[in-house]
Each structure stands twice: as structure tokens, then as C-alpha cells.
Amino acid sequence: GQQVMQIPQYQHVQEGEDFTTYCNSSTTLSNIQWYKQRPGGHPVFLIQLVKSGEVKKQKRLTFQFGEAKKNSSLHITATQTTDVGTYFCAGTNNTNAGKSTFGDGTTLTVKP
Amino acid sequence: GAVVSQHPSRVICKSGTSVKIECRSLDFQATTMFWYRQFPKQSLMLMATSNEGSKATYEQGVEKDKFLINHASLTLSTLTVTSAHPEDSSFYICSARDSLNSPLHFGNGTRLTVT
């Protein structure tokens, strides 16, 4: 079945440093979404990428979707303590009943 | 934006009892809802796909008689954990989307503790 691998599992950074998490799917995706989950909370939708090679920005966050629509990345510039949490990618293949497969998540901690 | 309401947020029950969790889409119709289970510091594991007006589709390894799913309307899906045991203690989260190509909107989750 479809697998989505996400690395790294954990990332510890000093406030102000950059951070990147990567997702790779075993199959071509229809779209990919990114979510952020704070400790004790539920996943919150950040963004969806649909087009091959798409790049979207949200303030300090940059999201990319690979040309082959099998990989994606989330990059945070100049991290802040408010960025702490676990970031999940979720790949959707519309031929698979629209189910989304989640990566294992990258947990980001930021040292002030 | 799309809102998904999940209740209860926290429940503690005794071993052998059943617990029902509700998931409602408040401002959109969801023909499909998804139920996930999340263990501490782990990812979301899809348990089943809840389809309005038909039987749920369960993922491999998920006991359908243990986790009963009912999708009675376009805005409500319920998950009942039957004869709960301590190993069923977990964080259960529902999600829904209003169309095939739209992102998932998650409920706040239910933390189930079985004593």
C-alpha cells in the first residue's frame, strides 16, 4: 500500500535557526497536505499542494511539492518558540478512495 | 472555515464498558469521515473510513466488531469502542472533508482512558 516517509523524526534548533522536514511517498500523489500538532492538541491544517513543482509561502514557512508529485518539504526560516510542535505531511491519492496517508511526523523543539 | 466538532474530549471508563465518540461537521456536509488513532509521540493511524448511509471501510488489522462506526447523516459519524480494555486507551481523532480534493479538517480528539 501507499507509504509516506518523513524525516527527520526529531529536530532541535536554536531560536533563529532554520528548519526543514521532508516527506517522500512510495506512490504518486494527487495532493499533499501539511499539518501542525501542538502537544496535547489535534492536527491543524497548514496548507495543501496540488500542482507538480508547486511552491507556496506562509510568512516564514515555505512549502514545496516535487516535480514527480512524490515528495514535499516544509522549510521554516528563523524559527521562533511558537513554531514548536509536530509537523505531519499527509499524502492523498484520489484513486485510493481519497484516503490520506500520514508521515510519522517531525517534532520540532526550539531553544530560546 | 470548515469546523469539525468531536465529543467528548476526554473520557475515563471501566474495563468492559462501551464508549461512544461523536464527530460532527458543523458548517459543511461530509459524505466521508475518517477515524484515526494516535499513540503518544506517534503518527495518526487510519482506523476506518466512515461513509454516509453505508458500512464503514476498516483498515487491515482493525476489528470492526470492536470499533463500531455509524455515519447516520451527512454531518454526524460515531465511533463506539465496545467492551473497552486498557489497551484501547488512546487518542482518537476524526476528520472530514467537504470534497475529494479538499484538505482534512480534524476534530479536537478524544482521549480515552480505560481503567
Q: What b-and-e string marks burial along A22-34, b requiring 16 or more CB atoms within 10 Å of the CB?
A: bbbbeeebbbbbb
Q: What is the pLDDT of residues A18-33, one digit of tens each?
A: 999 999 999 999 999 9
Predicted confidence at residue A10, as pLDDT, reads 97
Predicted confidence at residue A76, as pLDDT, reads 98
Predicted confidence at residue A2, as pLDDT, reads 78
Chain B residues touching residue A105 (CB < 8 angstroms): 42-43
In Å, how far is A16's CA from the nearest CA of chain B?
A: 25
Predicted confidence at residue A56, as pLDDT, reads 98
Q: What is the pLDDT of residues B59-91, one digit of tens each?
A: 999 999 999 999 989 999 999 999 999 999 999
In Å, how far is B106's CA from the nearest CA of chain A?
A: 7
Kindly state whether B108 is in contact with chain A, defined as any CB-CB distance less than 8 angstroms. Answer: yes
Those residues with Cβ within 8 angstroms of residue A85's Cβ, 6 or more apart along the chain or in another chain: A36, A37, A38, A39, A41, A107, A108
Those residues with Cβ within 8 angstroms of residue A18's Cβ, 6 or more apart along the chain or in another chain: A75, A76, A77, A78, A79
At residue B56, φ and ψ (nearest 5 deg) are -70, 155
Predicted confidence at residue B91, as pLDDT, reads 94
Q: What is the pLDDT of residues B43-61, one digit of tens each?
A: 999 999 998 888 899 999 9
Three-class DSSP category at B5: strand
Chain B residues touching residue A103 (CB < 8 angstroms): 43
Answer yes or no: do A100 and B34 touch at CB < 8 A.
yes
Answer yes or no: do B103 and A33 touch at CB < 8 A.
yes
CB B25, CB B1: distance < 8 Å:
no
Q: Is the pLDDT of residue B1 over 80?
A: no
Those residues with Cβ within 8 angstroms of residue A50's Cβ, 6 or more apart along the chain or in another chain: A30, A31, A65, B101
Beta pairing class for B110-114 and B10-13: parallel
H helices then E strands: how many in chain B? 0, 11
